[in-house]
Amino acid sequence: MAAGNSFDLVPRILPYLDRLLIFALLEHASEQKLYSEDVLLQAKFDLMKDTNMADYVTTLHKKISGSDAEVSEYVERREKVLEKLAAFEKESAELLQVLRNPDVVAALRPDRAQNIAYLKENHNISPDSIEVLYHYGQFQYNCGNYSEAADLLFHYRTLASDADLVMSATWGKLACEIMTLQWDNAAEELLKLREQIDAKTFSDPLVQLNHRAWLLHWALFFFFNADAGREKLTELFLTPAYINAIQTATPWILRYVTVAVLASRAARKTTGGASRAASYATYQKQIRELVRVIRQERYEYSDPVTEFVYALYVDFDFEEAQAKLSESADVVRSDLFLVASADVFLESARHLVSELYCQIHQRIDIKDLSARLNLSDEEGEKWIVNLIRDTRVDAKIDFSEGTVIMNHPPQSVYQQVIERTKGLSFRTSQVLAHMLTARNATAAVVGESEA
Amino acid sequence: MSRFFAGGSSDSDTSSSDEELYSDSEEERSEQEGSSENDSEDDSDMGSDDDDSSSEDDGPEGFLKPGAKAGASRFLRGEESDESDEDESKRIVKSAKDKRLEEIDTIIRTIENAKKINDWVLISNEFDKLNKIVSKGGQQSETPRMYIKAIADLEDFMGETIKTEKESKKKMNATNGRALNSIKQRIRKNNRTYEDQIAKYRADPEAFEKEPEATPEPVAAPKRKSAAVEAAAAANAAIAAGDAVDEGEFSTIGRGGRTVAITPESIFKQLRAILEARGKKNTDRAEQIRSMDKMLGVAATVYQRIRVLLVLISTRFDLTTASASYMPIAQWKAAQEEISKLLETLEANPQYAVTEDAEEIDDEESEAEPVPKDGEPVKIFGSIASLIERLDDEFTRSLQNIDPHTPEYIDRLKEEAPLYATAVRAQLYFERLSHASSISRVLMRRLEMLYYKPEQLIKFIEQTTWTEALPSGLESKITPYNGKEQPSELMHSICTVLYKQDNRLYRTRAMLCEVYHHALHNRYFHARDLLLMSHLQATIHTADISTQILYNRTLVQVGLCAFREGMISEAQQALQEISGTGRVKELLAQGVQMQRYGAPASPEQERIERQRQIPFHQHINLELLECVYLTASMLLEIPFMAQCGSAPDAKKRVISKPFRRMLDYHERQVFTGPPENTRDHIMQASKALASGDWARAKELIRAIKIWELMPETEQIKDMLSEKIQEEGLRTYLFTYAPFYETLAISQLAGMFDVSERKATALVSKMISSNEVAAALDQKTNAIVFTAGVEYSRLQNLALALSDKAVQLLDSYKYR
């Protein structure tokens, strides 16, 4: 675990997270038992001191100090919070009442200005009271009532016009969804935020970069949810704008990118048939992109996970890769975000190694390969058989010699030429059709003008 | 001294009208002016210089030499340049001068006549004509006395006319009146120029006219003689006045032997006179400087000191004529010291500030000096930032012109430290005033003095500046100094300020300087990232030329850095743009390239180009650059050539054109001797590498002497050896693969003296990227080459055709 700790990224990640998200992370950490309980408790306490969750803080305090005495400070705080809550409730009661009316919901349109006008006309709601929703939502969030906060912010977003506040409301909603583990909703919010960040023209590019960095970090929570989010995550990570953000601001995210990309292979395996070749191609492309970035950023950031990819794809040093892989197993297992994906990652990494190995070699000793993969002979044989079946490598096992013989048929020239020219005739006819329509169009225009 | 007389009395010297000789003597003169502070030694020097000509005529010289020499020389030096200017004109326009005088005479007579009939229109016309003639001649010689007399009389007459006009109710006719009004203005303005002469004339018209003048005798030689007499007299007067000087009351000898006393009261008047004379052709600047030096001693108040210093410094800069290549070093030093003095004065007296936004002072109205009011500093018009910039420019110009292989150059270079200190001091001054634009101007200069220096040098210059040159107690917010900080931190803090400026030029240059600094210290990734982030490569062609040069320098430095770090292909790419063009000298501004095509550059162009040159100490060694570029090209090109082999488009795919050209040339040679220069070494190494003889290639490359110029030579050589081994292995595989069925890894590793693991890795890489058609056999640990993958020519062409067809289709644009 010592090796894993030296590559611990939590201190680097924390500045990019919301207070309550950190809390979630700490909860997760205590589940994984990576840190000692006392340290975590203290951290939680420090974290929550200023939030509205007075009750929780009190319990925490009791736990830390070991005494049952109520601290007056927190009692006071609790009362204040309740007071404020009541005030908010009162203020927004009318508005919420209206909004919960199904007729009103039906009448609301995507056009915000129109919505506001509608509410004002029919229900006498001023734009100012809409602001209350936002603050109420924020307050609820700080109290830990995530689903209510999400609800409020959702309403706010449909009505509000202030772009900055809408943005921060979206951030808030994303946080709520993450906290309540609503991954589908969260993914939706993530997408919305991404659109907003990309579409908005920031006066200062640095602000945009910061937003992207936050988004990248928040997105890490999707790792908690093993499968569904990962593909989207990979896509997000490898979008040029975000790759740039990673390279300039937060190179340590590369570890997660690597894991996400490699692990997505496992997900692909389940999709069958026709799309498989296509998905394999995108997978190859992603790997290439990943290798490029890792290579470029190696001087800035490297850990066993990225070093593994580097050793494998840049140096083609299998022994080094092997060493790095076993190191990275520790790292991945001790990483808060990655624990869930650790096995998938290791499996995929092994696959990668053997695939590349097979590609390069003509005859492989099964014993040697098994050793390379940290497997026993028998397991190794099974593994190879599986590999041959899965990747449809042209290979056979020579049992008497204990070797696998790979057959790399040279691609014939005819095949290559056919491959390349396959689409030509179709595309040519497309071009022709396009040209004809274009000509007809101009001819029509000319005809009209003459007439 | 002797030269002065020689030039005057003998027309044998007139060969100086010859262009070349003329410019020679001019240079000589500027030298003399430069060293006018230390006299006697210089004097004798001059004497020996002109020995041959002076021996021809010893009359006047003999007359003067014995006694008066030391004293007179001191005062006459200044005159000298002017007088000899006169020689020039007089010799050429000797008869023209007479004609001119005659013309003046006629015009004056016409004016007299017109006066009688009160015809102001005529007077006005004639007055203009008169002025034109006088000013034409006046540039070369003194104003004729009769002109002074005429204009003085005219002014009087005008005054009278106006008076009578007012008294008598009767108006004169309209045109006449208008002419009178307009001439009134012009006469006033014109006469102000000749104020003192007019005054003298008014005081004693008789004596004034009697005074000896050039006019009566049209022949040059006698005039000279009279000038000599005058000079001698002046010298005597000066000696007499010598005591007075010591007492603080200084008298200087004006052109006509006048005595000008400088007192604190008259300082402003004097300054004004100097300022007015500025830019006129025959003002004697050396003379002005000397008088201002004295003023400085006399100046009673801080205000006066500042004012005098400002004028004095700018006059020093004016001293450099266009023909002189650079400012005389003594003058430069004096200017530098005076700027320091000025800054010191301003530091000591925070109630005064020299700023660019102050109002132009007009002493004419108020002779009284402004007194600092509470809290508000007195603003004085002036630009210290420009002075610093000018000082730096002159420094660079002198370095451009001094032969870099002489001790002079090194001496000159030593003066960078005081210059740097002055710049820092100015920066501190502006920081105190929080004058953002000036801070950035000075910082830019400071940065450009630092960026090309290695860290030790920066540390050193910073240390001397802060501990020796600057008085203690000064502190900077932008660039604090505590003796411990790293040079790169300093660079960064300077750059950070400049990045925030609105001016794009500052940002660009600061960025390039920082990149250069990083590259110089082997921080390749920092440098590269910064350079890429700046997106300069897209816009640099729109920048001004000196910035483009800086960009080129930076690019080259980044390339060299990559090379030192062992990133061969990065190095090659970075250097390609500069070294690949064959115009390296021009692009880096390190010497003028020979013109190969078309007509040679015009002198104008050549001059501009010379101005752009980078001083020698900042040069990037071109031979080293070429060596690095060619070596990098070799390491990439040789395996690549082997890989392409006999492919049909092998000729077209070229990584480095210059390298290919040289290689071709080398191969065409019938007999190749042992390598002599760097290029030979690399070419022979390339050949050896191509044939698989990596050991010889390594030997040849290691034998190149110029590697010594790189820090940590041995490391670089080792790095290169390693690269040669790798590339040699690859080349070998590319070249000889068709001849093998299998090849044991151990054999290969032994052949290239690398570990088996490394050999395997290299081979694996090649197989994986489809560079060779082969596979490894783990059991026997050998490479098995796949047979029959060598395509025939027809097959190759078919593949190429299919590629082209796809490309063609891709290039169709749907609209």
Contacts with B170 (C-beta within 8 Å, 6 or more apart), sequence order:
none
Q: What is the mean pLDDT of the segment spanning B706-712?
A: 85
Question: Considering chain A, what percentage of its residues have pLDDT values greater than 90?
Answer: 0
Q: Which residues of A touch B806 (CB under 8 A)?
A: 420-421, 424
pLDDT of residue B19: 44
pLDDT of residue B43: 43
pLDDT of residue B611: 79
pLDDT of residue B649: 62
> Does residue B176 share a domain with residue B307?
no
**DSSP assignments along B89-124, one per residue:** HHHHSHHHHHHHHHHHHHHHHHHHHHHHHT-HHHHH
Residues B23-50 as b or e (16 or more Cβ within 10 Å = b): eebbeebbebbbbbeeeeebbeebbeeb
Q: In the structure, what pLDDT confidence band is assigned to residue B23 with cuts at 50, 70 and 90?
A: very low
Asked if residue B796 is part of any domain, the answer here is no
Residues B682, B704: Cα–Cα separation, whole Å: 8
Say which of B784, B799, B812 has its CB closest to residue A431.
Answer: B812
A2 to chain B, any CB pair closer than 8 A? The answer is no
Least confident of A200-209, B518-527, B638-647: A200-209
Place of tokens 């499968």: A227
Whether residues B768 and A360 touch (CB distance < 8 A) is answered with yes
> Does residue B778 share a domain with residue B720?
yes
Has residue B12 got a pLDDT over 50?
Answer: no
Q: In the structure, what pLDDT confidence band is assigned to residue B123 with cuts at 50, 70 and 90?
A: confident
Widest pairwise Cα distance in chain A:
98
pLDDT of residue A357: 82
> Does residue B273 share a domain with residue B127?
no
Q: What is the mean pLDDT of the segment spanning B244-260?
A: 44
- Name the more confident of A408 and B554: B554
- The neighbour count for residue B156, using CB atoms within 10 Å, is 11
Which spans in A298-376 are helix H?
Answer: 304-310, 318-334, 342-360, 366-372
Say which of A362, A410, A413 has its CB closest to residue B799.
Answer: A413
Across all residues in chain A, what is the average pLDDT? Answer: 74
Q: What 8-state DSSP symbol labels residue B254?
A: -
Alpha-carbon torsion angle A163, A164, A169, A171, nearest 10 = 120
A363 to chain B, any CB pair closer than 8 A? The answer is yes
Residues B371, A193: Cα–Cα separation, whole Å: 63
In chain B, % helix, strand, coil (3-state, to 5) comes to 70, 5, 25
Contacts with A12 (C-beta within 8 Å, 6 or more apart), sequence order:
A250, A252
Residues 297-316 of A with CB under 8 A from B: 299-300, 315-316
Q: What is the mean pLDDT of the segment spanning B733-749?
A: 87
A441 to chain B, any CB pair closer than 8 A? The answer is no
Has residue B118 got a pLDDT over 70?
Answer: yes
Has residue B66 got a pLDDT over 60?
Answer: no
Q: Could you give the number of structural domains in chain B? A: 3
Q: What is the mean pLDDT of the segment spanning B90-112?
A: 71
- Name the more confident of A118 and B111: B111
Has residue B757 got a pLDDT over 60?
Answer: yes
Least confident of A11-20, A95-104, B743-752: A95-104
A204 to chain B, any CB pair closer than 8 A? The answer is no
pLDDT of residue B385: 86
pLDDT of residue B516: 92
Q: Are B445 and B423 a contacting pair, CB within 8 Å?
A: yes
Q: Are B154 and B127 a contacting pair, CB within 8 Å?
A: yes
Contacts with A13 (C-beta within 8 Å, 6 or more apart), sequence order:
A217, A220, A252
Whether residues B779 and A365 touch (CB distance < 8 A) is answered with yes
pLDDT of residue B631: 92
- Per-residue pLDDT reduced to its tens digit, B293-324: 777 777 777 777 787 888 888 888 777 665 56
Q: What is the mean pLDDT of the segment spanning A60-71?
A: 64
Q: If DSSP codes are grouped into helix, strand and coil, which group holds residue A408?
A: coil
> Does residue B206 share a domain with residue B293?
no
Q: Are B127 and B186 a contacting pair, CB within 8 Å?
A: yes
**DSSP assignments along B588-604, one per residue:** HTSSPPPP-SSSPPPHH
Say which of B775, B795, B805 has its CB closest to residue A361.
Answer: B775
> Does residue B761 share a domain with residue B673?
yes
> Does residue B275 share a domain with residue B184?
no
Helix axis angle for A228-238 and A240-248, nearest 10°, is 70
Q: Which residues of B touch A434 (CB under 8 A)?
A: 814
Q: In the structure, what pLDDT confidence band is assigned to residue A161 with cuts at 50, 70 and 90?
A: low
Q: What is the mean pLDDT of the segment spanning B265-292?
A: 71
A360 to chain B, any CB pair closer than 8 A? The answer is yes
Asked if residue B545 is part of any domain, the answer here is no
Q: How far apart are the first and last CA of chain A?
A: 85
> Does residue B742 share a domain with residue B629?
yes
Has residue B109 got a pLDDT over 80?
Answer: yes
> Does residue B753 share a domain with residue B628?
yes
Identify the CA nearest to B389 among candidates B430, B433, B445. B445
- Per-residue pLDDT reduced to its tens digit, B149-168: 777 777 777 777 777 766 66
Least confident of A111-120, A203-212, B327-336: A111-120
Residues B245, B260: Cα–Cα separation, whole Å: 12
- Name the more confident of B679 and A205: B679
Taking CA–CA distances from A411, the nearest residue in chain B reads B789
Has residue B251 got a pLDDT over 70?
Answer: no
Q: Which residues of B touch A406 (CB under 8 A)?
A: 775
pLDDT of residue B138: 55
Range of the domain at B330: 263-335+359-414
Say which of B768, B773, B809 has its CB closest to residue A428.
Answer: B809
Asked if residue B569 is part of any domain, the answer here is no
Distance from CA of A331 to the nearest CA of B (A): 26
pLDDT of residue B63: 43
Place of tokens 């003379």: B287
Across all residues in chain B, what is the average pLDDT? Answer: 74
Q: Are A258 and A305 a contacting pair, CB within 8 Å?
A: yes
Mutate to test the interface with A, among B756, B757, B772, B779 (most CBs of A within 10 A): B779
The residue among B158, B189, B218 that closes a domain is: B218
Q: In the structure, what pLDDT confidence band is assigned to residue B560 with cuts at 50, 70 and 90?
A: very high
Has residue B17 got a pLDDT over 50?
Answer: no
Contacts with A169 (C-beta within 8 Å, 6 or more apart), sequence order:
A134, A137, A153, A156, A157, A160
Q: Which of A26-30, A391-395, B437-441, B644-648: highest mean pLDDT?
A: B437-441
- Name the more confident of A106 and A170: A170
Least confident of A362-366, B228-232, B588-592: B228-232
Q: What is the mean pLDDT of the segment spanning B787-812?
A: 80
Residues A337, A230: Cα–Cα separation, whole Å: 12
- Per-residue pLDDT reduced to its tens digit, A221-232: 776 565 556 677
pLDDT of residue A410: 65
Residues A293, A306: Cα–Cα separation, whole Å: 10
Structural tokens at position B44: 């004798």
Domain boundaries, chain A: 49-180, 371-406, 417-450
Structural tokens at position A215: 């988004």
Residue A106 class from Cβ within 10 Å (0-12 exposed, 13-18 middle, 19+ buried)? exposed
Has residue B582 got a pLDDT over 70?
Answer: yes
Q: How far apart are the first and last CA of chain B?
A: 85
Distance from CA of B528 to the nearest CA of A (A): 11
Asked if residue B698 is part of any domain, the answer here is yes
- Per-residue pLDDT reduced to its tens digit, A282-296: 777 888 888 888 888
Q: What is the mean pLDDT of the segment spanning A312-328?
A: 84
pLDDT of residue A378: 81
Asked if residue B649 is part of any domain, the answer here is yes
- Name the more confident of B165 and B510: B510
A248 to chain B, any CB pair closer than 8 A? The answer is yes
Whether residues B768 and A359 touch (CB distance < 8 A) is answered with yes
Given the DSSP bridges, would you call strands B250-253 and B259-262 parallel, antiparallel or unpaired?
Answer: antiparallel
pLDDT of residue B136: 67
> Does residue B405 share a domain with residue B291?
yes
Residues A180-201 as b or e (16 or more Cβ within 10 Å = b): eebbebbbebbebbbebbeeee
pLDDT of residue B374: 59
pLDDT of residue B265: 66
- Name the more confident of B653 and B55: B653
Asked if residue B22 is part of any domain, the answer here is no
Given the DSSP bridges, would you call strands B352-355 and B774-777 parallel, antiparallel or unpaired?
Answer: unpaired
A438 to chain B, any CB pair closer than 8 A? The answer is yes
pLDDT of residue B782: 86
Has residue B469 got a pLDDT over 70?
Answer: yes
Q: Which residues of A touch B525 (CB under 8 A)?
A: 299-300
- Per-residue pLDDT reduced to its tens digit, B413-450: 888 888 888 888 888 888 888 888 888 888 899 888 88
Q: What is the mean pLDDT of the segment spanning A372-388?
A: 78
- Per-residue pLDDT reduced to its tens digit, B78-92: 444 444 444 444 454
Element (DSSP H or E) covering residue A236: helix A228-238
A398 to chain B, any CB pair closer than 8 A? The answer is no
Place of tokens 């996400």: A260
Widest pairwise Cα distance in chain B:
131
Residues A359, A312: Cα–Cα separation, whole Å: 13
Answer left, alpha or beta for residue B770, where phi above 0 means left and psi between -120 and 50 means alpha: left
Has residue A386 got a pLDDT over 50?
Answer: yes
Contacts with A402 (C-beta within 8 Å, 6 or more apart), sequence order:
A365, A366, A367
Structural tokens at position A430: 């497309």
pLDDT of residue B69: 43
Asked if residue B538 is part of any domain, the answer here is no
Residues B335, B226: Cα–Cα separation, whole Å: 37
pLDDT of residue B26: 45
Residues A248, A244: Cα–Cα separation, whole Å: 6
Asked if residue B341 is part of any domain, the answer here is no
Q: Are B499 and B510 a contacting pair, CB within 8 Å?
A: yes
Has residue B600 got a pLDDT over 80?
Answer: no
Q: What 8-state DSSP symbol labels residue B266?
A: G
A379 to chain B, any CB pair closer than 8 A? The answer is no
Helix axis angle for B694-702 and B713-736, nearest 10°, is 150
Whether residues B768 and A421 touch (CB distance < 8 A) is answered with no
Residues B98, B76: Cα–Cα separation, whole Å: 27
pLDDT of residue B240: 45
Q: Are B49 and B28 a contacting pair, CB within 8 Å?
A: yes
- A vs B, Cβ pairs < 8 A, gives 74
- Per-residue pLDDT reduced to its tens digit, A10-50: 677 777 777 667 777 777 666 666 666 676 677 777 766 66
> Does residue B267 share a domain with residue B133?
no
pLDDT of residue A33: 62
Which spans in A49-159 are helix H?
Answer: 54-65, 72-100, 102-107, 112-123, 127-143, 146-159
pLDDT of residue B6: 44
